[in-house]
Amino acid sequence: MKQRGHFTKDPIKFLCIVVSIACTFVLCFSVLKLNEIPQGNENVIGLKLKKNRIDGGRGVGKFGEIVIGMLPQDLGFTLFLPSEKAFERDLGLGENENENDTYAILTRVLGFSAVPRRIYADDVQVGKEIDYDSISGYTVYISKDSDGLLIVNRIASEMVDLRRGKIVVHVMDGVIMDPEFQQSVRPDDD
């Protein structure tokens, strides 16, 4: 005669099934990573935009994707990423640039603008200034103005609190860099 309820009497089998179901549940939610930075020209929804500034749904742009790709996705960083306009205006980077030169410039930009900790806009109080060292050792000074925009080394944010994995990205209307690097990348028309 077959026993009924044998499964519930064996705690090891029961525990294995419960753990398997829990792991499957966690795996499903980790695959559905919400609030990711959009790729390409998708519409940017739920992101804070600077007043009177239209992003046009461009996200972080081509150069931004390259810089973000240089950081490990599984560690907490904050990246004060220049906007696509800032890359062109302040660094003279365009579509037809030498790939090796562009990569070298983007690596330097990463060193000045990445902080090895997650900093959200809500972590900064209006009128207070905090400072952190970037991964290159350059000090970034972060404050928030009365409109709620982040100001980093006198550069205003366009979008804040974008996330890619454990990286927090703030899109800035300029490039954070030291004076020496700024002098070396100044466009020829200056």
Domain limits at 155? 38-185
What pLDDT was estimated at residue 44? 40
d(CA 115, CA 134): 4
Compare 6 and 131 and report the one with higher pLDDT.
131
Confidence of residue 87 (pLDDT cuts 50, 70, 90): confident
- 28 and 43 inside one domain: no
Report how far Cα 79 is from the mean position of its chain's Cα atoms.
5
- 100 and 20 inside one domain: no
At residue 163, the 3 state secondary structure works out as: strand
pLDDT, one tens digit per residue, over 64-75 is 888 998 888 888
d(CA 80, CA 16): 45
How many domains does the chain fold into? 2
pLDDT, one tens digit per residue, over 159-181 is 898 888 899 999 999 988 887 88
| 80 within 8 A of 113, measured Cβ to Cβ | yes
d(CA 112, CA 17): 49
pLDDT, one tens digit per residue, over 121-153 is 999 998 899 999 999 899 999 999 888 889 999
- 18 and 84 inside one domain: no
- 86 and 60 inside one domain: yes
Residue with tokens 């064996």: 10
- 149 and 167 inside one domain: yes
For the chain, percent of residues with pLDDT exceeding 90: 23
Confidence of residue 117 (pLDDT cuts 50, 70, 90): very high
Structure tokens at 58: 């461009």
Residue 77 domain-assigned (yes or no): yes
Confidence of residue 91 (pLDDT cuts 50, 70, 90): confident
Nearest to 159 by CA among 68, 16, 57: 57
Compare 83 and 35 and report the one with higher pLDDT.
83
- 50 and 107 inside one domain: yes
Residue 170 domain-assigned (yes or no): yes
Half-sphere exposure of 44 (CA within 13 A, CB side): 22
pTM score, two decimals? 0.65
Angstrom CA distances, 140 to 31, 34, 69, 135, stand at 34, 28, 21, 10
**Mean pLDDT throughout 91-96?**
73
Range picked from 5-14, 22-31, 138-147 for highest mean pLDDT: 138-147
